[in-house]
């Protein structure tokens, strides 16, 4: 995976998953624009790359606004003369149940995740099209956006929306040779520290202990570094024919998500009434109703 001569922007890359993506891209030869809201954190991330022989610069700012998106693209182009890869990783959580979620909780998460992805991709894609050499758009989704999750109305909406936008961009950018894919990561980060069923494993990693096979294989849960290889692969020439996909990764597990599809269909001459739907539902549809939420396997008994 030789990314020599390529320039990447990774939003939210001061720590956690974003930093792992940036470091792995740099290790494969890409020059990287680091982005974080904290100046010291961004500087530390740049140092981690340059001290290892890579090239990186930082732009401090919160994603969401067009101004930040344009500034990120300008930073890449002004520093290295081009832009080839965008990874939209920046995110924030404000978890609470529907009836307790404030407008501010909802709007902040939507602005950072959904609008921030949109504005950054718009700015990057505009430059990539003008540059005329193709490019790679890599957005970051979540299992919550695929399945839903209790207490995450705002986050689920944003992450589902990101995948929907990415599939649309794959269509719109194809003629320009720009691919667009979503990565669905599962890893130990500040965002997963509060998940009860993962606490045993996040504590183990914090203590420097290895994860058991159940966590890495059945749960697909690991470190940020376990996820980074997929981002680098999608950024490379090896992935030139891959676009419009949602790809999950975590621990030892790599997975391709299906696109939504109709799984049961019935035809009624002259259309459907409420009564005719009720008459056919139990016999034709009920058995195939889709579950809600991700089904987590039970850990092995001691």
Catalytic residues: 155
Q: How far apart are CA 221 and CA 180, in angstroms?
A: 24
| 7: β partners | 31
Structure tokens at 108: 């902040």
User: How far from chain centre, in Å, is Cα 31?
Assistant: 21
67, burial (CB in 10 Å: exposed 0-12, middle 13-18, buried 19+): exposed
Q: How far apart are CA 125 and CA 130, in angstroms?
A: 8
- Axis-axis angle for helices 16-27, 224-235 (nearest 10): 50
Do 222 and 158 touch, CB atoms closer than 8 A?
no
Q: Is 179 helix (H, G, I), strand (E, B) or coil?
A: strand
At 150, give phi and psi (nearest 5°). -55, 130
């Amino acid at each position: 995976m030789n990314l020599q001569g390529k320039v990447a922007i990774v939003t939210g890359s001061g720590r956690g998953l974003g930093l792992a993506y940036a470091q792995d891209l740099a290790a494969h030869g890409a020059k990287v624009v680091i982005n974080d809201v904290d100046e010291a954190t961004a500087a530390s991330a740049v140092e981690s790359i340059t001290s290892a022989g890579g090239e990186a610069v930082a732009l401090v700012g919160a994603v969401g606004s067009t101004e930040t998106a344009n500034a990120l693209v300008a930073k890449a182009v002004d520093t290295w003369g081009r832009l080839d890869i965008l990874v939209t990783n920046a995110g924030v959580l404000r978890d609470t149940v529907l009836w307790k979620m404030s407008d501010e909780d909802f709007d902040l998460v939507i602005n950072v995740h959904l609008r921030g992805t949109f504005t950054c991709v718009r700015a990057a894609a505009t430059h990539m099209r003008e540059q005329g050499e193709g490019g790679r758009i890599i957005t970051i989704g979540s299992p919550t956006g695929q399945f839903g999750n209790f207490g995450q109305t705002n986050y689920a909406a944003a992450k589902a929306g990101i995948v929907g936008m990415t599939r649309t961009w794959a269509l719109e950018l194809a003629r320009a040779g720009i691919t667009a894919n979503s990565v669905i990561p599962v890893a130990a980060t500040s965002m997963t520290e509060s998940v009860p069923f993962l606490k045993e494993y996040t504590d183990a990693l914090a203590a420097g202990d290895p994860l058991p096979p159940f966590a890495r294989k059945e749960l697909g849960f690991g470190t940020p570094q376990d996820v980074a290889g997929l981002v680098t692969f999608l950024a490379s020439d090896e992935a030139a024919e891959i676009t419009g996909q949602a790809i999950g990764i975590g621990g030892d597990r790599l997975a391709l998500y299906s696109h939504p599809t109709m799984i049961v269909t019935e035809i009624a001459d002259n259309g459907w009434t409420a009564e005719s739907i009720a008459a056919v539902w139990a016999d034709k549809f009920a058995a195939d109703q889709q579950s809600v939420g991700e089904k987590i396997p039970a850990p092995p008994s001691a």
